[in-house]
């Protein structure tokens, strides 16, 4: 260790003397010439001289003079690098993911509105689509939020809220029309027919049949036949979920007196 310190000391002294001996330093000679014409009386801006414009030898010795002293104290060099290398950035981890105010607000919005999609979350937070997607991906990556794909849309859920697959499908369905209106009607009017739903909600028979078939496939609705009539009702698991969480869901037990077209304007406020 003593040997290396002595070598560095010798190198440092050599570099210092070499820098002093370069042209343009304090030891360089001065040439005095007679003045030419009179002072014009104009002021000129100084031109900035950068290190890149210096000769290669000057640049080399300049870098040595900056770096060489740090070689005597490698611990201090590592400490300085640990401060300046990140340039003010820090790695986001599971512990620090919610330190950001916007991500914390976004996480709370998802927890309060389980099953909400990106468009709905964008309307709630009022940010651009790119910024929302960036922070959503970070929350998903660190395990704070789960993204569930269902019926060509993606619903988001807070990980600390435990939902079964059926409950997730129900919550996603409640975030969009006309599924929400249909489920609300079935909750207040079990054993209903397709014509009853279509007439009460102002929907076409084909629209009702399509949504009922999708809800049946996902286990949310059951279908029974009464003579020539097909009757729909909520499945036992779906009905149990509604009874347990009715107060926290964007749905009412009593069916709307208006039709679906009249209630579309209230879709966002009920979420």
pLDDT tens per residue, range 16-40: 666 555 555 444 455 555 544 444 4
Q: 209 lies in a domain?
A: yes
Per mean pLDDT, which range of 68-77, 145-154, 249-258 is the poorest? 249-258
Q: Is the pLDDT of residue 191 over 90?
A: no
Are both 68 and 2 inside the same structural domain? yes
Q: 244 lies in a domain?
A: yes
Q: 111 lies in a domain?
A: yes
Are both 206 and 229 inside the same structural domain? yes
**Cβ–Cβ under 8 Å, residues 219 and 235:** yes
Report pLDDT for 168.
Answer: 92
Q: How far apart are CA 71 and CA 213, in angstroms?
A: 74
Q: 39 lies in a domain?
A: no
Q: Is the pLDDT of residue 232 over 70?
A: yes
Are both 169 and 129 inside the same structural domain? no
Q: 46 lies in a domain?
A: no
Are both 148 and 195 inside the same structural domain? no
- We report the CATH number of the domain holding residue 107 as 1.10.10.10
Mean per-residue pLDDT for 145-166? 91
pLDDT digits (tens, 9 = 90+) for 127-140: 999 999 999 999 99
Are both 149 and 107 inside the same structural domain? yes
> CA distances (Å), 252 to each of 12, 52, 174, 215, in order?
82, 72, 11, 19
Are both 169 and 150 inside the same structural domain? no
Are both 142 and 170 inside the same structural domain? no
Mean per-residue pLDDT for 246-255? 56
Instruction: Name the residue among 126, 183, 113 with its Cα closest to residue 155.
Output: 113
**Cβ–Cβ under 8 Å, residues 118 and 75:** no
Report pLDDT for 141.
Answer: 93
Report pLDDT for 238.
Answer: 92
pLDDT digits (tens, 9 = 90+) for 40-86: 454 444 445 555 556 777 777 667 666 666 565 565 555 555 555 55
> CA distances (Å), 172 to each of 107, 130, 150, 176, 185, in order?
17, 22, 7, 7, 17
Structural domain range at position 125: 101-158
Report pLDDT for 50.
Answer: 59
Kindly report the average pLDDT of the chain as a whole number.
Answer: 75
Residue appearing with tokens 């489920």: 183
Q: Which letter, b or e, does each residue of 113-143 get, where b requires 16 or more Cβ atoms within 10 Å of its Cβ?
A: bbbbbbebbbebeebeeeebeebbebbeebe
Report pLDDT for 146.
Answer: 95
Q: Two tokens at 238?
A: 């779906």
Q: How far apart are CA 99 and CA 121, in angstroms?
A: 19
Report pLDDT for 137.
Answer: 94
> CA distances (Å), 225 to each of 200, 201, 212, 214, 238, in order?
20, 22, 14, 18, 20
Report pLDDT for 252.
Answer: 45
Pairing of strands 221-226, 192-193: unpaired
Q: How many independent structural domains does the chain possess? A: 3
Are both 133 and 193 inside the same structural domain? no
Q: Two tokens at 114?
A: 């389980």
Q: How far apart are CA 271 and CA 254, in angstroms?
A: 17
Are both 105 and 179 inside the same structural domain? no
Q: What percentage of residues in the chain have a pLDDT greater than 70? A: 59
Pairing of strands 229-234, 145-150: unpaired
Q: 124 lies in a domain?
A: yes
Report pLDDT for 97.
Answer: 92
pLDDT digits (tens, 9 = 90+) for 93-127: 888 999 999 999 999 999 999 999 999 999 999 99
Are both 262 and 241 inside the same structural domain? yes
User: CA 257, 261, 265, 271: dihedral to nearest 10 degrees?
Assistant: 70
Q: 34 lies in a domain?
A: no
Within 10 Å of residue 98's Cβ, how many Cβ atoms?
17
Per mean pLDDT, which range of 86-95, 100-109, 216-225 is the poorest? 86-95
Q: How far apart are CA 73 and CA 260, in angstroms?
A: 75
Query: pTM surpassing 0.85?
Result: no
Q: 29 lies in a domain?
A: no
Are both 199 and 177 inside the same structural domain? yes
Report pLDDT for 263.
Answer: 33
Are both 182 and 247 inside the same structural domain? yes
């Amino acid at each position: 260790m003593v040997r290396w310190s002595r070598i560095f000391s010798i190198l440092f002294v050599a570099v210092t003397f070499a820098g002093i001996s370069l042209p343009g330093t304090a030891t360089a000679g001065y040439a005095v010439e007679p003045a030419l014409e009179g002072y014009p009386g104009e002021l000129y801006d100084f031109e900035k001289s950068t290190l890149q414009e210096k000769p290669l030898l000057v640049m080399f010795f300049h870098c040595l003079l900056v770096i060489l002293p740090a070689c005597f104290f490698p611990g201090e060099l590592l400490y300085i690098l640990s401060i300046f290398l990140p340039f003010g950035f820090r790695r986001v981890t599971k512990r620090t993911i919610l330190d950001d105010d916007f991500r914390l607000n976004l996480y709370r919005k998802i927890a309060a509105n389980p099953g909400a999609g990106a468009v709905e979350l964008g309307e709630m937070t009022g940010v651009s689509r790119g910024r929302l997607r960036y922070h959503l991906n970070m929350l998903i990556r660190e395990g704070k939020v789960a993204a569930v794909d269902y019926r060509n849309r993606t619903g988001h859920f807070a990980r600390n809220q435990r939902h079964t697959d059926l409950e997730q499908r129900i919550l996603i369905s409640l975030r969009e029309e006309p599924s929400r209106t249909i489920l609300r009607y079935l909750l207040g009017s079990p054993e209903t027919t397709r014509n009853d739903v279509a007439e009460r909600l102002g929907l076409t028979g084909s629209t009702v049949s399509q949504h009922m078939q999708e809800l049946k496939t996902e286990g949310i609705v059951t279908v029974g036949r009464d003579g020539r009539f097909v009757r729909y009702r909520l499945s036992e698991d779906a009905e149990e979920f509604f009874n347990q969480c009715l107060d926290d869901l964007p749905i009412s037990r009593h069916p709307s007196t208006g039709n679906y077209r009249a209630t579309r304007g209230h879709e966002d406020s009920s979420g």
